[in-house]
Amino acid sequence: MCEPLWPEIPFSLACMNCDTGDQIFSYDQAIAEGWSDISYEPDLPMANYLGVCPDCRPAWTGEEAPANPT
């Protein structure tokens, strides 16, 4: 799950698979939008937190991707 958040550190997030995340502004927003495996990564140059976005989660976890409604 998620390591403790550091309130003094601005929340910025990147997906560990595809680098998306610049549209996420808080941990609560990330969870609401389906992000998982969020961890604090102070050594990343592009974000303070790393996680798995909802689009990459099926490949990452082995889940089946949801069917696209047509």
Instruction: Determine the pLDDT at residue 19.
Output: 84
Which pTM value belongs to this model? 0.76
In contact, 51 and 38? CB cutoff 8 Å: yes
Instruction: Determine the pLDDT at residue 65.
Output: 55
For the chain, which residues make up each domain, given as ranges? 13-55
Instruction: Determine the pLDDT at residue 70.
Output: 47
Instruction: Determine the pLDDT at residue 52.
Output: 95
**pLDDT per residue rounded down to tens, the chain (70 residues):** 455 677 788 899 999 999 899 999 999 999 999 999 999 998 999 999 999 999 998 886 776 655 555 4
